[in-house]
């Protein structure tokens, strides 16, 4: 370019002479090779170079976007990426294994997922870190992060790894320690720690704590007892008549409120009624945001009762417990498992004091709720453990959302 500029400035007419040279060259070639051979030959070489350049370009992009052959062709990856990022803005509220199972299914339909998770856990590894390090309990957050991670299987195994030896390490999960360390690195900001962990883990969506306050659950029982501590409430073995938290009105995370306001679809549950679902709704600002929201909202009811929490509860009992905790209804539809587990599963759970949650349709309709009944359960053939099936549950929830929206 420098030489060409100097030549033009000096009035050496380089373009004219270059065209003459090219014309003379093409004339010589045309005299030696007939045009019916040289034309197709040059055309073929041109297409060959185009194909070679295209292949190198696509290959370079594929190495970045889809490095694993299991991800499929680049076109499929791009189409999937586009479909997921155009998916509905979904807010899922809960905790425990129920919420993580739900997220595993939903992430195949949308990348715009926000999980709002309870921070009332005070048992196990989370409880120890909460007491010793003064951090928010990371257990439920950890489960949701791994559920939304793209490399879910490997990360789930890593984050669930529990140390079996080592002074001070025995009983701790690697994922809990990871989040605790990230909290310290980010200056004690738990929200920033989760965001940083999400980037490290390549999480599809967002995971947010319901509040950053140090929340302690308490429950009052029908016999007058008052029990404090999330892990101690099920152990009390009584009929819960009232539940609350200390401090009584914890402030909500602003980003959680914004997610509810912008949501296209809100899902509450599944999860332990009094220790996973309701603790989120004890944050007044969250409950008020849910009441103001015009997005379709559905509650996913548990399949089995939980000993010490929901003994003998029907579907309507679950709904009334949530209404009492919030002061007013937050949703108008409930999703219920279609059929009961197998007799072997029922016998297994009966030994633990748990039975299938009965759908009492008249009572549910008296509460002004619509009912969606669908097969959303999976049962382990060996242990007969019953869980919500992530794939089936997500299919039913997305289908219902498409019908009502």
pLDDT tens digits along 319-369: 999 999 988 899 999 999 999 999 999 999 999 999 999 999 999 999 999
Average confidence (pLDDT) over 110-132: 88
Residue 166 backbone zone (phi > 0: left; psi -120 to 50: alpha; other: beta): left
Cβ atoms 90, 254 nearer than 8 A: no
Strands (E), 275-376: 297-300, 333-337, 370-374
Strands 226-228 and 216-221: antiparallel
The alpha carbon dihedral of 292, 250, 107, 358 has a sign of: negative
- Supply the pLDDT for residue 152: 60
- Supply the pLDDT for residue 202: 84
Cβ atoms 199, 182 nearer than 8 A: no
- Token representation of residue 17: 């002479």
Residue 262, phi then psi, degrees to nearest 5? -95, 0
96-110, pLDDT tens digit by residue? Answer: 889 999 999 999 999
User: pTM for the full model?
Assistant: 0.83
Residue 12 pLDDT greater than 80, yes or no: no
Q: Give which of 327, 256, 261, 332 is closest to 94, Cα–Cα.
A: 256
37-74, pLDDT tens digit by residue? Answer: 878 888 999 999 999 998 888 778 777 766 666 666 66
- Supply the pLDDT for residue 67: 62
118-132, 273-287, 320-334: range with lowest mean pLDDT:
118-132
For 79-404, CATH number? 3.40.50.10680
Higher pLDDT, 258 or 152: 258
- Token representation of residue 328: 């007013």
Residue 398 pLDDT greater than 70, yes or no: yes
19-46, pLDDT tens digit by residue? Answer: 888 888 878 877 788 878 878 888 999 9
Higher pLDDT, 148 or 150: 148
Calculate the CA dihedral of residues 184, 186, 191, 195 and round it to 10 degrees. Answer: -120
Residue 118 pLDDT greater than 90, yes or no: yes
128-142, 156-170, 230-244: range with lowest mean pLDDT:
156-170
In SS3 terms, 266-285 reads as EEECCCCHHHHHHHHHCCHH
Report residue 317's pLDDT band, with 50, 70 and 90 as the boundaries.
very high
* Average pLDDT of every residue of the chain: 90
- Supply the pLDDT for residue 72: 62
Give how far the C-alpha of residue 373 lies from the chain's centroid of Cα atoms, to the nearest Å. 24
**Residue reference for tokens 């690195």:** 185
83-87, 158-162, 249-253, 346-350: range with lowest mean pLDDT:
158-162
Strands (E), 234-391: 240-246, 265-268, 297-300, 333-337, 370-374, 377-379, 386-388
Cβ atoms 137, 119 nearer than 8 A: yes
């Amino acid at each position: 370019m420098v030489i060409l500029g100097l030549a033009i400035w000096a009035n050496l007419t380089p373009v004219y002479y270059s065209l003459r040279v090219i014309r003379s060259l093409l004339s010589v070639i045309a005299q030696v090779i007939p045009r019916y051979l040289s034309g197709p030959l040059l055309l073929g070489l041109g297409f060959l170079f185009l194909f070679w350049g295209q292949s190198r370009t696509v290959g370079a992009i594929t190495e970045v976007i889809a490095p694993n052959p299991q991800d499929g062709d680049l076109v499929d990856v791009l189409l999937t990426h586009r479909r997921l990022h155009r998916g509905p803005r979904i807010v899922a509220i809960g905790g425990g294994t129920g919420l993580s199972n739900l997220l595993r299914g939903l992430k195949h339909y949308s990348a715009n997922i926000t999980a709002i998770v309870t921070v009332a856990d005070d048992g196990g590894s989370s409880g120890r870190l909460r007491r010793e390090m003064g951090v928010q309990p990371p257990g439920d957050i950890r489960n949701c992060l791994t559920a939304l991670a793209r490399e879910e299987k490997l990360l789930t195994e890593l984050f669930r790894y529990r140390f079996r030896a080592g002074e001070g390490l025995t009983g701790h999960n690697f994922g809990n320690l990871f989040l605790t360390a990230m909290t310290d690195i980010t200056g004690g900001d738990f929200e920033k720690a989760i965001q940083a962990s999400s980037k490290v883990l390549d999480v599809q969506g967002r995971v947010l704590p319901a509040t950053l306050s140090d929340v302690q659950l308490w429950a009052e029982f029908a016999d007058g007892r008052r029990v404090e501590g999330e892990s101690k409430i099920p152990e009390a073995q009584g009929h819960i008549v009232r539940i609350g938290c200390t401090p009584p009105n914890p402030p909500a995370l602003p980003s959680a409120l914004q997610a509810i306001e912008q949501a296209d679809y809100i899902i509450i549950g599944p999860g332990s009624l009094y220790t996973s679902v309701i603790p989120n709704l004890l944050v007044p600002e969250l409950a008020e945001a849910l009441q103001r929201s015009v997005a379709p909202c559905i509650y996913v009811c548990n399949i089995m009762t939980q000993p010490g929490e929901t003994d003998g509860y029907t579907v309507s009992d679950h709904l009334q417990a949530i209404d009492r905790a919030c002061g007013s209804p937050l949703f108008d539809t409930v999703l219920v498992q279609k059929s009961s587990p197998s007799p072997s599963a029922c016998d297994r759970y009966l030994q633990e004091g748990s039975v299938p949650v009965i759908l009492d349709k008249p009572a549910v309709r008296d509460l002004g709720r619509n009912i969606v009944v669908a097969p959303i359960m999976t049962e382990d053939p060996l242990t007969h453990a019953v869980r919500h099936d992530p794939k089936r549950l997500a299919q039913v929830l997305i289908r219902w959302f498409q019908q009502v929206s």
